[in-house]
Chain A
Amino acid sequence: MSTCPKPNDLLKNMVSDLRELLKARNIENPCMIGIHTGGVWIAEELHHRLAINEPLGKLNITFYRDDFTRIGMHPQVTPSSLPFAVDDQHIVLVDDVLHTGRTIRAALNEIFDYGRPASVIFATLVDRGGRELPIAADVVGATIKLNEGQQIKLTGPDPLQLEIQEST
């Protein structure tokens, strides 16, 4: 059993890294989008701490997954909602765990179906490696190396906790 960092500590670093990055790119009023479900929890925290004006966007990427015919449909009421115009907007996309990169590929596709953003920055609470696509995060809370057969999972929203599970 390895110990996991506390999401709260990681969020502090993410907030300051994001502030710096946005400043370096001269972005003053970004929009933030969280990916259901864990990514929305992290985005809610970041959105609040960065005092972003525009309401938080939420993405349900189920309809953009590349493994739909293999895993099927899981009914749950979490429609996407982007309560702002995406066109020409600077967007901060947020997820909890970055692994293969496939979720982010799907999320980018969905965002572009709403419009053409000026730029997208990607922030993740945890980068666990194992990429299958050329995708990288701009802001990372923690990089965690996992052994084969291990999974890392964020539970929440209150309290937010990271947990390493042995998959069977």
Chain B
Amino acid sequence: MSKRDIQFDQNGLLRHFLTIDGLPRQTLTDILDTAENFSTVGTQQAKKVPLLRGKTLVNLFFEPSTRTRTTFELAAKRLSADVLNINIQASSTSKGESLLDMLRNLEAMHCDMFIVRHNTSGAAHFIAEHVAPHISVINAGDGRHAHPTQGMLDMFTIRRHKQDFTKLRVAIVGDILHSRVARSEIHALNILGVPEVRVIGPHTLIPREASSLGVHVYHDMKEGLRDVDVIIMLRLQRERMLGAMLPSEDEYFIQYGLTRKKLALAKPDAIVMHPGPINRGVEIESAVADGPQSVILEQVTNGLAVRMAVMSMVLGRKQEA
């Protein structure tokens, strides 16, 4: 069974959300449209809708995260679901309980969804293969593989500013090698019909198979940023770098940091994105991160609507009688 099959139930409805790779364009558009509806919930006096009342969601985070975990938790609470946060460092797995035993226990507590972050690629997929039939799994980032809800919230942000994906030139800049965000974005941009996706970064941080993903590779910011509509800056993932992949952070900033001067090479109405957390002065200058073309905080707000959309789509599938 391929990875894309397991994401759909027998009626062809989205049951798990593990990767964007291989999903039909219609599914992505459905997620974006549904998220558009949820975007007004945050403006209500009572910022809550009763949609997932009585459902129990489990945040299973095997790797540290602030933004992703809190936005998943907040999104679930805005849907009136109950949320359980499991801190893996302090859980039974450190007492030798196996992962599958832990899953069985959570299933026995009648949980409905696992939101999984893990530093091993394929972890969420493994869990999805082994859960009870009524449980849905959402991948909140696995190794270098995928971070599909981040990819979708970035697409949502782009669509809000640029409407038509088929006329865009998008540049993803920085540490592509370690970035599951970049992989999910590239898949989503390709599926949504963006004609030109560029990746820009040093040789050491661009995966060798990059061109097979349907992107154009640049090593020079001045060439790569020319006339783009969207710039996505990536965080330098120092914690994942084993060897000396970079001369120094200062050198990196000179070559690949986004400054006002480099930003001027893009189209005048280009937007600047970053999945966070930002390393100011390493991959992006503060004047750009806080500048008029930056949509970085909008991405955070949109993350709530997109996560509400994905959670309600997978849990709101028509139940078999």
B-binding residues in A (CB < 8 A)? 60, 62-64, 68-73, 75-81, 86-87, 109-110, 112-115
Contacts and interface: CB of A to CB of B under 8 A. Distances in A.
A114 B44 contact: yes
B40 A77 contact: no
Nearest to A113: B46
Contacts of B44: 113-114
B48 interface: yes
5 contacts: A63-B41, A64-B49, A69-B315, A73-B313, A75-B313
Contacts of B40: 79-81
Q: Closest 3 A-B residue pairs measured CB to CB?
A: A63-B49, A113-B46, A75-B30
B102 to A, nearest CB: 27
Interface stretch (B31-39, B163-171, B214-222, B264-272): B31-39
Interface residues on B, range: 20 to 34
A115 B51 CA distance: 19
Given A63-B38, A72-B316, A113-B49, 5 more contacts: A73-B313, A73-B316, A77-B37, A109-B50, A114-B46
B294 interface: no
Contact of B37 (A62, A109, A110): A62
Interface string B79-102: 100000000000000000000000
Contacts of B45: 86-87, 113-115
B312 interface: yes
Contact of B312 (A73, A79, A87): A73
B39 A79 contact: yes
A109 B45 CA distance: 12
A68 B51 CA distance: 7
Nearest to B37: A79
A114 B47 CA distance: 8
Interface string B293-321: 00000000000000000001101111100
A29 B24 CA distance: 49
A79 B50 contact: no
Contact of B51 (A63, A71, A79, A114): A63
Contacts of B313: 73, 75
Nearest to B79: A63
Contact of A63 (B29, B50, B315): B50
Nearest to B308: A63
A110 to B, nearest CB: 8
A75 B316 contact: no
Contacts of A112: 46
A78 B316 contact: no
B132 interface: no
Which of B29, B30, B40 has the most C-beta atoms of chain A within 10 angstroms of its own C-beta?
B40
B55 to A, nearest CB: 9
Nearest to B47: A113
A35 to B, nearest CB: 14
A87 B46 CA distance: 12
A72 B50 contact: no
B89 to A, nearest CB: 35
Contacts of A79: 36-40
B246 interface: no
Nearest to A80: B40
